[in-house]
Amino acid sequence: MAESIPATPELAHDEHGHHEQSFASKYLFSTDHKMIAKQYLFTGIAMALIGGFFAYAFRMQLAFPGMDIPFFGVVSPGEYNSLITNHGTIMIFWVAMPIILAAFGNLVIPLMIGCDDMVFPKINRLSYQIFLLSALVLISSFFVEGGGFGGSWVAYPPLSSEPQYNLTPLGSSLWIGAVGLEFVAFLLGGINFITTTMNSRAPGMKMNDIPIVVWMIVIASVLFMASVGPLLAGAIMLLFDQNLGTAFYDPTRGGDPVLWQHLFWFFGHPEVYVVFLPPLGMVADIITTFARKKLFAYRTVLYTVFGTGVLSFTVWAHHQFISGIDPRMANIFTVTTLLISIPIAELMFVYIATLYGGRISLTTPMLWALSFIAEFLIGGVTGIFLGASGADVYFHDTYFVLAHFHYTFFPIAIIGFYMGVTYWFPKMFGKMMSDFWGKVHFWGTIIPFNMIFIPLFVLGTAGQHRRIYDYSHFPELMTPGMQDMRVFATMSLLVMLAFQLVFLINFVNGMIRGPKAEKNPWKANSLEWTTESPPPHGNWPPSEMPTVYRGPYEYSVPGREKDYWPQNEPT
């Protein structure tokens, strides 16, 4: 049955790359995966600037409560809640997801598997347009009456569902609407990623020849698809509670507020892996390239990731240990949570082992990839304190959680973004960025980052709880030592934000005036480096579509003159 109806192949690629395109069709309504990737990237950067500004505003408020903050003004309690809520929401859903998953997924999947575009270019474009709309809806929510939603990014009802409690009647509906739209956008994008990788690999590319980063993006898309449904259903219920007067989450009328927590975290925990896996894949590709090493135990990496993916669906209630669920349930979730530490630890071991026997050159992308491992380790080990139910009784909802979370999400979203951009910049823009300024930016980011969050670990251990705009009403938390640490963290943030200017200048300068990039500046194996920088429309001329002969990590193969062996080079 499958072969009985041909998909009209006679119409394929007769005009590829020849016709003139107007500005609108090239930049606004492009179906080219590289252009869509850039659209996601720039939208993500714009949202990151907003999210970063929010972080600046509330960190300043925490260090200098009540101060008239430059460029913002006085932060009221309601504004503070809205700032932290939208900082979290933006950074996860409008920065990490579009940049890490969508921008790099769109950019690298067709290039790395050797085809000319996604299988559904128009759906791809639609996905971006829905995403852009969702971003605009979210931004509009800051300007409506009552201000933006301030119920934290987890949006626990009844606070999120009842306007008389959250005081943001419009903001909360726009917020949940924007999040829902964003999910739809990524469902469409995810279907594209999965089907493209499944069906459109270059001839000869077997399962084991797919670069790890492509695997990771596809697995992440599957995880997203399998976990987001219940939350989408939950979001519909929340929207109805807010606007139609239903009582899904209202305990006084037969609903249950804990239902939302289950739906949210059933998605929320796999979501961590959705954004965690793609940068993990980038690390694999980058450290092998710059260590001139074959990836240690390729198949083990895959099996481990499959295991992580499956396990990630069984751990959600570790976010709810003390939220009034049956205490016996906590024991089950402690077991699964500690189990999931094993595949993650194994992945870290694999990456460290890959470095053994390498020939490591510390370029900017390599520095970012290595820092991912070093920093994520901190995020990983501190998670054990929170996954162990007995210890979580104390740490729940303290700054310890916050610091742990940022030690996982900073590597994911920020380090992942920088390593991807610095590594694939030549392929994206056909130019090179300055390595020197890249390194300046690296050290100027990574050192202050640790200086922001290490004090927050201490503060959390000292009992400082979260989402408080001003600690002066808690004498135990207002000792001078603690206030000094808050000020120190804020100072570090200012330094880190200042260094992001270095990146922006380097980025724009590289795009405009950088030296022309050659086809394969890093001497890497995977297919994207076998075409021009930047690749033409259709990626390769139709006659030169690549054929694959080996896996992507054949570096330093004994007996060969060159220390790399591109996937498409015939034996």
Partner 1 sequence: MSDRPIATTRSAAGMPTGKLAVWWVVVSEIVIFGGLLASYIMHRLAHSDWGEQAAHTNTWIGAFNTLVLLSSSLSAVLAHKAASEGNGPKAAKLLWLTILGAVTFVTVKGFEWAHEIELGYTITSSTFWSFYYTAAGLHAAHVIAGAIIMGIVAVAAAKNRELHRVELIGIYWHFVDLVWIFLFPLLYIAK
Partner 2 sequence: MIESLVPAGSSYAGEIDLLVNMILWIVGFWFVLCEVVFFWLIFRFRKKEGVPGQYISGEEKSQKRWITIPHVLVLVCDIFILVGAIWVWYDIKQDLPPAQAEVRIISQQWAWTFVHEGADGEMGTADDITTINELTVQVDTLYHYKLESLDVIHDFSVPVWRLKQDAIPGRLITGWFEPTLTGSFDIQCAELCGVGHALMGGTVHVKNAADYASWVAENSTMSLASAATPHAGGE
Partner 3 sequence: MARPPLDPRTLRGAETTGTHMQSGRNRATRWTTIVCCVVASFALAVVSGAADLEVGKELYEQCAQCHGADGGGRSFYLAPSIAGMDEWYVTSQLENFKAGTRGLHADDKGGLRMYPMARSLTSDYGGTDAEKIEAVSAYIASLPEVFPAPEVTGGDAVKGAALYATCQQCHGAAGEGKQLLNAPRLAGTSDWYLVTELQEYKQGIRGSNPLNGPAVLMRGMSNMLANDQAIRDVVAHIVTLKPATQNGN
The reply on whether position 164 binds partner 3 by CB under 8 A is yes
What gap in Å lies between CA 304 and CA 309, rounded to an integer? 9
Question: Min. distance of Cβ 69 from partner 3 in angstroms?
Answer: 9
Cβ proximity to partner 2: between 447 and 504 the closer is 447
Q: How far is CA 217 from CA 104, 109, 190, 192, 197, in A?
A: 9, 8, 9, 11, 10
The stretch near partner 3 (CB under 8 A) out of 27-35, 75-83, 111-119, 209-217 is 75-83
DSSP reduced 3-state for 171:
helix
The reply on whether position 375 binds partner 1 by CB under 8 A is no
Site for partner 1 in 502-541 (CB under 8 A): 538
Helices 257-291 and 327-355 meet at what angle, rounded to 10? 10
DSSP string of 412-442, one letter each residue: IIIIHHHHHHHHHHHHHHSB---HHHHHHHH
Neighbours of 2 (CB within 10 A): 4
The reply on whether position 187 binds partner 1 by CB under 8 A is yes
The reply on whether position 389 binds partner 2 by CB under 8 A is yes
- Asked whether the beta carbons of 45 and 140 are under 8 A apart, the reply is no
Q: Which does 232 bind (CB under 5 to 8 A by kind): partner 3, partner 2, partner 1, none?
A: partner 1
Taking the alpha carbons of 85, 88, 92, 98 in that order, is the dihedral positive or negative?
positive
Among 163, 204, 268, 463, binds partner 2 (CB under 8 A): 463
Site for partner 3 in 487-506 (CB under 8 A): 487, 490-491, 494
Q: Which does 328 bind (CB under 5 to 8 A by kind): partner 2, partner 1, partner 3, none?
A: partner 2
What gap in Å lies between CA 518 and CA 504, rounded to an integer? 23
The stretch near partner 1 (CB under 8 A) out of 97-105, 111-119, 161-169, 475-483 is 111-119
Taking the alpha carbons of 58, 59, 65, 66 in that order, is the dihedral positive or negative?
negative
Question: Min. distance of Cβ 230 from partner 1 in angstroms?
Answer: 3
Tracing tokens 């994520």 back to the chain, one arrives at 376
The reply on whether position 53 binds partner 2 by CB under 8 A is no
Site for partner 3 in 421-460 (CB under 8 A): 458
The reply on whether position 164 binds partner 1 by CB under 8 A is no
Q: Which does 302 bind (CB under 5 to 8 A by kind): partner 3, partner 2, partner 1, none?
A: none
Cβ proximity to partner 2: between 53 and 385 the closer is 385
Among 335, 360, 384, 478, binds partner 3 (CB under 8 A): 478
| Cβ neighbours of residue 530 closer than 8 Å, sequence gap 6 or more | 519, 520, 540, 546, 566, 567, 568
Tracing tokens 């085809």 back to the chain, one arrives at 115
Among 46, 338, 487, 497, binds partner 2 (CB under 8 A): 338
Among 237, 272, 403, 412, binds partner 1 (CB under 8 A): 237
Among 13, 42, 73, 208, binds partner 3 (CB under 8 A): 73
Q: 335: which 2 tokens?
A: 């077991």
The reply on whether position 158 binds partner 3 by CB under 8 A is no
The stretch near partner 2 (CB under 8 A) out of 306-314, 347-355, 429-437, 522-530 is 347-355
Site for partner 2 in 62-81 (CB under 8 A): 77-78, 80-81
What gap in Å lies between CA 188 and CA 32, rounded to an integer? 16
Paired with 465 in beta bridges are 398
Q: How far is CA 427 from CA 33, 108, 133, 136, 543, in A?
A: 13, 9, 28, 29, 21
DSSP reduced 3-state for 157:
coil
DSSP reduced 3-state for 117:
coil
Cβ proximity to partner 1: between 121 and 163 the closer is 121
- Asked whether the beta carbons of 70 and 57 are under 8 A apart, the reply is no
Paired with 398 in beta bridges are 465
Q: Which does 24 bind (CB under 5 to 8 A by kind): partner 3, partner 2, partner 1, none?
A: none
What gap in Å lies between CA 487 and CA 63, rounded to an integer? 5
Among 30, 106, 141, 196, binds partner 1 (CB under 8 A): 196
What gap in Å lies between CA 396 and CA 387, rounded to an integer? 10
- Asked whether the beta carbons of 504 and 437 are under 8 A apart, the reply is no
What gap in Å lies between CA 354 and CA 348, rounded to an integer? 10
Site string for partner 3, 95-134 (x = CB under 8 A): ----------------------------------------
DSSP reduced 3-state for 187:
helix
Q: Which does 335 bind (CB under 5 to 8 A by kind): partner 1, partner 3, partner 2, none?
A: partner 2
The reply on whether position 105 binds partner 1 by CB under 8 A is no
Among 48, 84, 115, 403, binds partner 1 (CB under 8 A): 115
Question: Min. distance of Cβ 163 from partner 3 in angstroms?
Answer: 7
Q: How far is CA 129 from CA 181, 189, 222, in A?
A: 10, 11, 21
Q: Which residues bind partner 1 (CB under 8 A)?
A: 1-2, 4-9, 11-16, 110, 115-121, 187, 190-192, 194-196, 198-201, 205, 225-234, 236-237, 240, 244-248, 253-256, 259, 263, 266, 538, 542, 545
Q: Which residues bind partner 3 (CB under 8 A)?
A: 63-68, 70-71, 73-74, 76-79, 145-147, 163-164, 167, 458, 462, 470, 472-473, 475-476, 478-485, 487, 490-491, 494
